[in-house]
Amino acid sequence: MKTISRRQFLGITTKMTAATAFAGTFAPSATSFFGLGGIAHAATKKITPFTFAILTDAHLYDIKDHKFDAFLEKGVADINSMNPLPDFVLYAGDIGQSGKDSELKKGKAILDKLKVKYRVIPGEHDWYLDMGKSWKGHFGNETWSFDHKGVHFIGMNSILVPDFWTMAGLTPEERMGRMEELECHNCGLWGVGSAQLEWLAKDVKNISRDTPVVILTHSPLWNYYPRWNFQTVDAPEIREILRKFEKVIAIHGHVHQVVYNQIGNISSAGLLSTSWPWPYPPVELPYPHLKMNRVDPGNFEDGLGSHAVNLAADFMGTLNYREFAHLLPENVRRGLKL
Amino acid sequence: MNGKTFGIKAGVIASSVVLALLAATAQAKEPRTPVQAEDEWNALMAAVKKGDDLWHNGKLGTNGLACGNCHPDGSASNPHTWPKFQTNLGKVGTLREMINWCIAVPMQGKPLPLDSDDMIAMEAYATYTHRGVAIAPAKDEQHGAVPVVSGPGYPTAGGH
């Protein structure tokens, strides 16, 4: 019932969502479902191979010389040490912990040390003190797209929740405090909302289906563990809009862990933070062999890291977790195939 | 004769035992009334709530971190596995000692007295989030909290 009312709210037709559910469950790819050609994941348009890097979830506090400052610095230094340098860096949200301008400013100062350009999307920790005002002041629009060497990159703000604070009479600090808690009991499920769905539909309208697409969101575009907002409420609608493409790589922050899923034409991967690792929630993982080991609480760098994604000419992607400590099992250390 | 005498003696002893048991039963505490049971449950829930607050408010540390940063819903605190040998403690320790280690080391705070109300509340919260999980001393496997009764949503089969 909840799902239906959500979709009614978003104005997406039942027909579309039913098609999404079918594709997600059975169809190996959008193209084979429609019979538009080829084998699943057949060649997309050839691209010029390149590498980009990713950082996420620094959760900086407004405290001088906090250990998380050093971890973000380490991630930046690691990326700057790559030879050759990546073409650019993506940042998947939660620069700050409590949405304070001082936290975001500190984060920007550290990220500005990157030797290559970077693009950022927000996380809930960046947003709910002033509803994104400071974040936008530092980083610009939270919804964007650009093309690079034949790949279409999309960034979206996936952490928008319905208003739970006005009726409750909460102060901005109280609102932020509730959102800071992963297991908030009354904050609600978050998503991108109808305006961004419309934007996305327009953004990809004139892009050919054989164009490789990479989409960056803070939260997963699949229903992993809604209790901790390891989900995006309108992910089915996003997947529907992107279903015309032969292949989409979705990358997300928020989960602070190695996790992988594949739904239809979209392969999806979670990232390591530069703050702390989350434990795996008590649900069955779709790809249980692709996960990190249990962390040592005595090693503050365990479970943290930066990332590099290599894209080959046929748009085969490899996500390399550049872990700060030795934690990953060998199959993950070799890189996740996207 | 001996057998009969023994039989009579045994009978007397048996009767005495039965009488003693009946007397003990008559003097035993009455079962809890529904009101008492509710009061006791509410007292536990108040401790769990207090523990939940302490777990998340960041006031036990000095660097902003709270237990909930790494242990949402109490997950990976593994209350069903303690006492056990814990490397960071360097000995067989209790959940309370591990909570204090986390307060002192990652959170850079001051450890709580082990028998304090605050510590008992923390233990109550961690244990309540793992209700029904089988006791498994030193089980070397991280356990998530049991699915909670409040919250915004629940997973669906297949991750869609």
Helix H or strand E segment including A242:
none
B100 touches B114 (CB < 8 A): yes
To which residue do tokens 């692709």 refer? A290
User: Does the pTM exceed 0.90?
Assistant: no
What sign does the CA torsion over A136, A123, A232, A23 have?
A: positive
Chain A partners within 8 Å of B147 (Cβ): 227, 282
Report the candidate in A191, A208, A188, A338 with the shortest Cα–Cα distance to residue A267: A338
What average pLDDT does range A235-261 have in this prediction? 97
3-class DSSP state for residue A219? coil
pLDDT at residue B147 in the model: 61
Q: Which domains does chain B have, with CATH numbers?
A: 36-141 (1.10.760.10)
Q: Check whether B158 has a pLDDT greater than 60.
A: no
pLDDT at residue A43 in the model: 58
pLDDT at residue B139 in the model: 79
Q: Residue A242 and residue A250: Cα distance in Å, rounded?
A: 11
To which residue do tokens 């304070």 refer? A100
Q: Residue A126 and residue A142: Cα distance in Å, rounded?
A: 11
pLDDT band at A328 (very low <50, low <70, confident <90, very high): very high
Report the candidate in A263, A236, A47, A37 with the shortest Cα–Cα distance to residue A153: A47
Mutation target to probe the B interface, by most B beta carbons within 10 A, among A161, A227, A327 is A227
Does B159 reach chain A within 8 Å, measured CB to CB?
Answer: yes
What average pLDDT does range A144-151 have in this prediction? 98
pLDDT band at B148 (very low <50, low <70, confident <90, very high): low
Of chain A, the percentage scoring pLDDT greater than 90 comes to 80
Report the chain A residue with the minimal C-alpha distance to residue B70: A278
To which residue do tokens 């996500």 refer? A319
- Angstrom distances, CA of residue A22 to CA of A16, A223, A261, B158: 10, 15, 16, 12
Mutation target to probe the B interface, by most B beta carbons within 10 A, among A17, A65, A94, A183 is A183
Chain A partners within 8 Å of B48 (Cβ): none
Does B160 reach chain A within 8 Å, measured CB to CB?
Answer: yes
Average confidence score pLDDT of chain A: 88
Chain A partners within 8 Å of B101 (Cβ): 297
Report the chain B residue with the minimal C-alpha distance to residue A2: B153
Report the candidate in A193, A190, A250 with the shortest Cα–Cα distance to residue A226: A190
Q: What is the pLDDT of residues B80-135, one digit of tens each?
A: 999 999 999 999 999 999 999 999 999 999 999 999 999 999 999 999 999 888 99
Q: Check whether A4 has a pLDDT greater than 90.
A: no
Q: Check whether B62 has a pLDDT greater than 70.
A: yes
Report the candidate in B91, B100, B94, B93 with the shortest Cα–Cα distance to residue B119: B100
pLDDT band at A31 (very low <50, low <70, confident <90, very high): very low
Q: Check whether A7 has a pLDDT greater than 50.
A: no
Tokens at A96, concatenated: 């700050």
Chain A partners within 8 Å of B146 (Cβ): 282
- Are B158 and A25 an interchain contact pair (Cβ–Cβ within 8 Å)? yes
A101-110, B68-77, B109-118: least confident range: B68-77
Q: What is the pLDDT of residues B32-47, one digit of tens each?
A: 899 999 999 999 999 9
ipTM of the complex: 0.84
Q: For residue A336, which phi and psi values (nearest 5 degrees)?
A: -85, 130
Tokens at B16, concatenated: 């005495």
What average pLDDT does range A294-317 have in this prediction? 95
SS (H, E, C) A8-27: HHHCCCHHHHHHHHHHHHCC
Nearest neighbour of A227 by CB, restricted to B64, B143, B152: B152
pLDDT band at B48 (very low <50, low <70, confident <90, very high): very high
Nearest neighbour of B64 by CB, restricted to A63, A181, A283: A63
Tell me which range, A12-21, A25-34, A146-155, is most confidently predicted by mean pLDDT: A146-155
pLDDT at residue A8 in the model: 36
Does A154 reach chain B within 8 Å, measured CB to CB?
Answer: no
Nearest neighbour of A227 by CB, restricted to B71, B142, B154: B154
HSE toward the beta carbon, residue A198, CA cutoff 13 A: 5
C-alpha Rg value of chain A to the nearest Å: 19
Contact map slice: B 14-73 vs A, CB within 8 A: 56, 63-65, 68-73
Contact map slice: A 274-313 vs B, CB within 8 A: 275-283, 286, 294, 296-298, 300
B115 touches A192 (CB < 8 A): no
Q: Check whether A83 has a pLDDT greater than 90.
A: yes
Nearest neighbour of B142 by CB, restricted to A187, A227, A279: A279
What angle, 0 to 180 degrees and rounded to 10, lies between the N-to-C axes of helices A67-80 and A101-111? 30
Q: Check whether A224 has a pLDDT greater than 80.
A: yes
Average confidence score pLDDT of chain B: 80
For the CA atoms of A169, A173, A174, A177, the dihedral, rounded to the nearest 10 degrees, stands at 150
Instruction: Compute the nearest-CA separation of B155 from chain A (Å).
Output: 5
pLDDT at residue A167 in the model: 95
Listing DSSP states for chain B in one string gives: -HHHHHHHHHHHHHHHHHHHHHHHHHHSPPPPPHHHHHHHHHHHHHHHHHHHHHHHSSTTSSSS--HHHH-GGGTT--GGG-SEEETTTTEEE-HHHHHHHHHHTTS--PPPPTTSHHHHHHHHHHHHTTTTPPP-TT--S--PPPPPSSSS----GGG-
- Are B155 and A294 an interchain contact pair (Cβ–Cβ within 8 Å)? no
Report the candidate in A275, A187, A196, A277 with the shortest Cα–Cα distance to residue A237: A196
What average pLDDT does range A68-97 have in this prediction? 98
What angle, 0 to 180 degrees and rounded to 10, lies between the N-to-C axes of helices B95-104 and B117-128? 110
Chain B partners within 8 Å of A97 (Cβ): 64
Chain B partners within 8 Å of A21 (Cβ): 160
Instruction: Compute the nearest-CA separation of A121 from chain B (Å).
Output: 22
